[in-house]
Structure 1
């Protein structure tokens, strides 16, 4: 068998080297083309949920749904991310958000204290917090403002870690008001306690209260008072430890786009009625 000439051998090495270089170039182009997809798939944000219909709940198929859940899922998808829902009570969710172990906390009110550790999105909902009264309480206590409770024996149920707006936070700072407060963990249980006469009143988001009282069969027993505690606008809170201002801007653009193209309205219609009191974005 005859060995190739030195000239042919050199040409083979050159061709082989050129082919290898072309293959490496093609591989690099393919890797760069796939990077956005890989990054998008890798983008997962933890989102708080809890059994708090109509904002978040687990449906009969085991899927997390609700106004907040669906809105978070859709908006995150628009910025190339997916939501991983984490079940947390409200007080614990604030701790996790501050530590950066939770990325997104829906339906949050902006406050000076929370701004230390959270970014806030554009407004997503305005549903008033209303004072609800137990059986016979309306006849005993006649007042139109929350501060009129000061100096009375009124027992007010308040969820631990929950802000009911600026007005409530200001009154809560009054030492005289602490004697009126009865801390509660779960609002659904608090309705039952109030029906038994163990607390006199409870502050609750109107949309949640209407649904829960109807489900518990207590809609005619526990009634809303004339006291509107707050009309603050709810927002998505993002942990400053894990979410950048740039991401927040992209998320806000996604919400704005959903309002413009009607997708926000579709999500709202699944869970919330447009009433004069509940001013959801996209309502006529």
Structure 2
């Protein structure tokens, strides 16, 4: 009798998984920025972040519909049910109200990219106030608790920043000497210095703005609790198989 009950339970769980994944197509935010997201000539999306989410979705028998959306706009859509998934997200109290976090996906270290001829080294946040030009930041991005507090409490500090919708915009501003530098993840910044900026003219400053894990953010508004649970289990399987680590290693990301 016990064996029959166990078989029945397994059958019910299997049926639940199949019902959730039968038509499991989830919208995923992308943005044309290598090496995380790259759109080829045929319009197909590739890159490290794309491969990571595809590996998780494959384990869940789901597929992705990629939507090219700015960071700030994507946050709004996630909150209101117009988008299902966004990658490389830091956990904040505000985001936890409308997002379910899966991961951690990888380790992220936020740093500052500037010209090599900058007037002084930037080793801490207070040094930024010495700069004669502003620093570029992404609209809606999270740069850590210390940065957020200083932005609220120190007007002289908060006036030193200029928002943009993308890192490419900040790169363009830096080349034209409109900003003193911009914040970015260290992994992405290393790629930028090799492919989008002349590494002999620009560098990464000693300042470590924030270091923390980033996650897959799943909308609580548009994605059911059953599907979120399915994705949790899929991530665990992809991680235990070493699939995610292989992708990170392939792209030269040394995240644990």
TM-score range, shorter chain: 0.7 to 0.9
- Judge conservation of contact 2:20–2:226 (CA < 8 Å) in 1: no
Q: TM-score, normalised by structure 2?
A: 0.85
Structure exhibiting the larger radius of gyration computed from Cα positions:
1
* Helix, strand or coil at the partner of 1:241: coil
- The match for 1:149 among 107, 125, 128 is 128
Alignment of 1:70-149 (within 5 A): 70-137=51-118, 140-149=119-128
Structure with higher RCO (Cα < 8 A, 6+ apart): 2
Structure 2 residue runs of 5 or longer lacking an equivalent are: 1-13
CA-to-aligned-CA distance 1:17-66 (integer Å, 9 cap, x gap): xxxxxxxxxxxxxxxx9997675341111100011222222134432112
In structure 2, distance between residues paired with 1:118 and 1:219: 37
* Helix, strand or coil at the partner of 1:182: strand
In structure 2, distance between residues paired with 1:267 and 1:60: 22
- Judge conservation of contact 2:91–2:215 (CA < 8 Å) in 1: yes
In structure 2, distance between residues paired with 1:135 and 1:81: 46
The aligned counterpart of 2:11 is none
- The match for 1:195 among 175, 188, 212 is 175
Q: TM-score, normalised by structure 1?
A: 0.78
In structure 2, distance between residues paired with 1:149 and 1:73: 39
- Judge conservation of contact 2:20–2:227 (CA < 8 Å) in 1: no
- The 1:147/1:245 distance shift into structure 2, 3 A limit, reads farther
**Residue correspondences, number:** 242
- The match for 1:222 among 181, 185, 202 is 202
In structure 2, distance between residues paired with 1:254 and 1:272: 24
Q: Aligned-pair RMSD on alpha carbons? A: 2.3
Structure 1 residue runs of 5 or longer lacking an equivalent are: 1-32, 275-279
How far off is 1:216 after superposition?
A: 2.1
The aligned counterpart of 1:277 is none
Structure with the largest fraction of strand = 2
